[in-house]
Amino acid sequence: MEARDLLPDYLLGQLEPEEARRLEEQLERSPELRAELEALRAALFRLPDQLAPVTPPPRAWQGIQARTRRGRGVPWPWVTGIAAGLALVFASFGLYEWQALRALRAEQAKVAHWLSEPEGKWRAIKNARGEGVGTMIWLEDGGCLIVMKDPAPEGKVYQAWGRKGDKPVSLGVFRGRVYETRFEGFERMGVSLEPPGGSAQPTEPLGSVSVS
Amino acid sequence: MEPDSDLIRQVAQGDETALEELYRRYGGKVYALLLHVLGGREEAEEVLQDSFVQLYKEARRYDPQRGGVSTFLFTIARNLALSRLRARRARPQKVLDHDLHDPEQELGLWHEHDPTDRVLVQRALAQLAPEDRRLLEESFYWGYSHSELAERHAMPLGTVKTRVRRALLRLREFLEGRVREGGE
């Protein structure tokens, strides 16, 4: 049997391994045979065109997105950079401040947990001068973590805000550097400095990021 | 519209937007193929995801000399689906009936769907001898070997081989417009 007669069987995976190997050797040597194979392949893979397309459920694409992003992973330089930053912060507090250290360790654990989330998105929170004052991390499930560069100054607290349209909505106050909240329903998330107890409106906005 | 070949090049560089565009163009067709091969929605959806993830990972391997992007994608999807069939050692008993009451199932409403290709292929297949067509389709969609087909259809093995080859060669001729409908 001539090699070209074997091409349909080869495309359909019907040849014995030894037969397939011999045909592949001939394909290597013959551009005409390769062209014939590709023409037959093109015809064979037109078969699915006879089927009416069916819209997959939306979750199918979301699943693909999650898996391709997981494959990319979190960039390690960022992880090590932030971890190193936290280590410096630890050092500056001193071991005798046991309670503070425990709080910081809890923060570090929380940050490490969030950084390990493959679907996490993050963006720097910058002030009006373009200086980074913190980082916002958010997940597809609606969770959001705010990590500030420094603790709130003496006599002040941070206040988290969500904004949809013109109306800011308070999401709570915090004194430490790390604060966990939720972002769903908002277009922007921001942080301001406020007197203890917080304010009805942001009085000293520090910066905000788009999360839509 | 950006050609598929440009999109796959971008996918090879990790561009998720290009992958999404290919999904928008071909997701419905691949899903239809997988429903046809596997017979169940849940498994078809899993393999649909596997197919596009594999496309994303292997986009660098795409060689335009070996066919279009759709051929590359259908090859991935078919291979994955046939692996599933082999693993469960059973073909679907019948092709899935689509549930018209399922809100997630928008039959024939895939974005920018052009029915021209479908009609062309259906007409080309209609030109084949019905038995030849059945053998080719069973081989392609469900991976039946020649000997399995011979047993299923109570035909000599040589006849099955001849009919499958003839069907593919004729399909190619019809699709390339080398044969008019109804004869040579």
Each domain of chain A, given as residue ranges in start order, spans: 3-54, 120-212
Minimal Cβ distance to A57: which of B23, B45, B175:
B45
Tell me if chain A has a CB within 8 Å of the CB of B153: no
Q: Is residue B82 part of a domain?
A: yes
Based on the domain organization, do B75 and B133 belong to the same domain? no
Q: Which residue of A has its CA nearest to B65?
A: A38
Domain boundary residue among B68, B88, B108?
B88
Based on the domain organization, do B13 and B82 belong to the same domain? yes
Asked if B106 lies within 8 A of A38 by C-beta distance, the reply is no
Q: Is residue B145 part of a domain?
A: yes
Based on the domain organization, do B81 and B141 belong to the same domain? no
Cβ burial, residue B69 (10 Å; 0-12/13-18/19+): buried
Chain B interface disruption, residue of A19, A33, A47, most B CBs within 10 A: A47
Asked if B171 lies within 8 A of A64 by C-beta distance, the reply is no
Q: Using CA atoms, how far apart are residues A171 and A166, in angstroms rounded to an integer?
A: 16
pTM as predicted: 0.60
Per the structure, the count of domains in chain B is 2
Give the H/E segment covering residue A161.
strand A157-164
Q: Is residue B94 part of a domain?
A: no
Token pair 């660098």 is found at: B60
Q: Is residue B151 part of a domain?
A: yes
Minimal Cβ distance to B110: which of A11, A53, A64:
A53
ipTM: 0.84
Q: Using CA atoms, how far apart are residues A82 and B46, in angstroms rounded to an integer?
A: 36
CATH of domain A120-212: 2.60.40
Question: How crowded is the C-beta side of B81, counted as CA atoms within 13 Å?
Answer: 32
Asked if B29 lies within 8 A of A55 by C-beta distance, the reply is no
Encode chain A (212 residues) as per-residue pLDDT tens digits. 788 899 999 999 999 999 999 999 999 999 999 999 999 999 999 999 999 999 999 999 999 999 988 766 545 455 556 666 666 665 654 544 555 666 666 777 777 777 777 777 888 898 888 888 999 888 877 888 898 988 888 888 899 999 888 888 888 888 888 888 888 888 889 999 998 888 888 999 999 998 87
Q: Which residue of B has its CA nearest to A68?
A: B53
Q: Is residue B139 part of a domain?
A: yes
Q: Is residue B104 part of a domain?
A: no
Q: Tell me, what CATH number does B75's domain have?
A: 1.10.1740.10
Cβ burial, residue A87 (10 Å; 0-12/13-18/19+): exposed
Q: Tell me, what CATH number does B154's domain have?
A: 1.10.10.10
Alpha-carbon dihedral sign for residues B7, B10, B14, B18? negative
Range of the domain at B151: 116-175
Q: Is residue B108 part of a domain?
A: no
